[in-house]
Chains A and B, each alone.
Chain A
Amino acid sequence: MTALESAKKIKAKFGDLISEPAEFRGETTVQLADAEKIAEVCACAKNDLGFDYLMDISSVDNYGDDPRWMVVYHLRGLRHGGELRIKTGVSEEKSELPTVTTVWKTADWHEREIFDMMGLRFSGHPDLRRILMWEGYPYFPLRKDFPLAGKPTELPGVAFTKTAPLEGGPFVTVAGGGDATGREPRVRPPKE
Chain B
Amino acid sequence: MATVQDIEVPDSAARSAQAADGLQDAVGEKMVLNMGPSHPATHGVLRIVLELDGEIITKADPDVGYLHRGDEKIAENMTYTQFIPYTDRLDYLAPLANNVAYALAVEKLLGIEKDLPPRCQYIRVMCAELARISAHLLGLGAFAMDLGAVTVFLLSFTEREKIYDLAEAISGARFTTSYTRIGGVSRDLPPGWLEQCQKFCDEFIPALNEFETLLTRNRIWVDRVRDLAVISKSDAIDYGLSGPNLRGSGVEWDLRRNQPYLCYKDLEFEIPTGTVGDCYDRYLVRMEEMRQSVRILEQCIRKIPGGAENKSKEPVNVSDGKIVLPPKQKVLSSMEELIHQFMLVTEGVNCPPGEIYFGHENPKGELGFYICSRGGGTPYRMKIRSPSFVNLSIIPKIFQGAMISDTVAILGSLDFVMGECDR
A interacts with B: yes
Chain A contacts to B: CB under 8 angstroms: 24-25, 27, 29, 52-56, 58-61, 72, 74, 78, 81, 83, 85, 104-106, 108-110, 113, 117, 130-134, 141-142, 146, 148
- Which of B72-80, B285-293, B403-411 is near enough to bind chain A? B72-80
In the complex, are the beta carbons of B240 and A55 less than 8 A apart? yes
Q: What is B's interface to A at a CB cutoff of 8 Å? A: 64-65, 68, 70, 72-74, 77, 108-109, 111, 235, 237-240, 251, 253, 258-259, 354-357, 359, 366, 368, 370, 372, 380-381, 383, 385, 389-390, 392-393, 397, 422-423
The chain A residue sitting closest to B258, CB to CB, is A81
Q: Give 22 A-B contacts (CB < 8 Å), ordered by A residue.
A: A24-B356, A25-B109, A29-B355, A52-B237, A54-B240, A55-B240, A55-B366, A56-B368, A56-B385, A58-B381, A72-B355, A72-B372, A85-B355, A108-B393, A109-B389, A109-B393, A130-B65, A132-B68, A133-B65, A133-B68, A142-B72, A148-B74
Closest-CB distance, B404 to chain A (whole angstroms): 23
Shortest CB distance B323–A (Å): 16
7 interchain residue pairs of minimum CB distance: A106-B240, A58-B383, A132-B65, A56-B385, A109-B393, A132-B68, A60-B381
> Which B residues lie within 8 Å of A148 (CB)?
73-74, 77
How many Å lie between the Cα of A72 and that of B145 in the bound state?
41
**Shortest Cβ distance from residue A88 to the other chain B in the assembled complex, whole angstroms:** 14
What are the residues of chain B within 8 A of A105 when measuring CB–CB? 235, 238-240, 393, 397
CA gap between A104 and B240 in the complex, in Å: 8
Residues of B within 8 A of A146 (CB): 73
CB proximity of B170 to chain A, nearest CB, Å = 29
Contact B372 A60 (CB under 8 A): yes
Contact B368 A55 (CB under 8 A): yes
Q: Which B residue sits closest to A63, measured CB to CB?
A: B380
Given A58-B383, A81-B258: A131 touches B240 (CB 8 Å cut-off):
no
CB pair B393–A106 under 8 Å, yes or no, is yes
A85 touches B240 (CB 8 A): no
Tell whether A106 pairs with B77 under 8 Å between CB atoms, given A55-B357, A56-B383, A134-B65: no
Chain A hits for B235, CB < 8 A: 105
Interface of B is mostly: mixed
B419 nearest CB across to chain A (Å): 13
The interface residues of chain A lying within 8 Å CB-to-CB of B368 are 55-56, 74
With contact pairs A55-B385, A104-B240 given, residues A72 and B370 touching in the complex (Cβ less than 8 Å): yes
- In the complex, A130 Cα to B65 Cα: how many Å? 10
Instruction: State whether B370 touches A58 (Cβ < 8 A).
Output: yes
B240 to A53, Cβ gap below 8 A? yes
Given the known interface contacts A106-B240, A141-B70, the answer about A131 and B359 at a Cβ–Cβ threshold of 8 Å is no
The docked-state distance in angstroms from the alpha carbon of A141 to that of B357 is 22
Of listed B253, B366, B380, B393, residue having the most chain A CB within 10 A: B393
The docked-state distance in angstroms from the alpha carbon of A55 to that of B240 is: 6
Q: Find chain A residues with CB under 8 A from B258 CB.
A: 81
Min CB–CB distance B308 → chain A (angstroms): 35
Name the contact of B253 in the complex, choosing from A54, A78, A109, A134 (C-beta under 8 A): A78
A25 vs B354: C-alpha distance in the bound complex, in angstroms? 9
> CA of A27 to CA of B359 in the docked complex: distance in angstroms?
12
Distance in Å from the Cβ of B90 to the closest Cβ of chain A? Answer: 14
Give chain B residues whose Cβ lies under 8 Å from the Cβ of A141: 70, 73
A25 contact from B74, B238, B356, Cβ within 8 A? B356
* A23 → chain B closest CB, angstroms: 10
Min C-beta distance of B10 to chain A, whole Å: 25
> Which residues of A sit under 8 angstroms from B357, Cβ to Cβ?
27, 55-56, 74, 83, 85
* Assembly CA distance A53 to B239 (angstroms): 8
A127–B185 Cα distance when bound, in Å, is 44
Separation in Å of the A59 CB from the closest CB of chain B?
8
Closest chain A residue to B61, Cβ basis: A127
Complex: A54 Cα to B359 Cα, angstroms: 13
In chain A, what residue has the closest Cβ to B111? A25
Q: How far is the CB of B251 from chain A (nearest CB, A)?
A: 7
B320 shortest CB reach to chain A, Å: 17
Residues B238 and A104 in contact, CB atoms below 8 Å apart: yes
Q: Closest Cβ of chain A: how far from B240's Cβ, in Å?
A: 3
Residues of B within 8 A of A85 (CB): 355, 357
The CA-CA distance from A134 to B108 in the complex, in Å, is 35
**Complex CA distance for A123 and B116, rounded to whole angstroms:** 45
Contacts of B372 in A (CB 8 A): 60, 72
B393 touches A132 (CB 8 A): no
Q: Are B68 and A78 in contact (CB under 8 A)?
A: no
Contact of B370 among A74, A117, A133, A142 (CB under 8 A): A74
How far does the Cβ of A49 sit from chain B's closest Cβ, in whole Å? Answer: 15
Knowing A25-B356, A148-B73 touch, does A61 contact B381 (C-beta < 8 A)?
yes
Q: How far is the CA of A110 from the CA of B238 in the complex (A)?
A: 13
A55, A61, A113: which contacts B359 (Cβ < 8 A)? Answer: A55
Least distance between B206 CB and chain A CB atoms (Å): 36
Across the interface, A131 reaches (CB within 8 A) one of B65, B109, B385, namely: B65
Min CB distance B141 to A, Å, is 28
Q: Which A residues are in CB contact (< 8 Å) with B393?
A: 105-106, 108-109
A27 to B259, CA, bound (A): 13
Q: Which chain B residues border A53 with CB–CB below 8 Å?
A: 237, 240
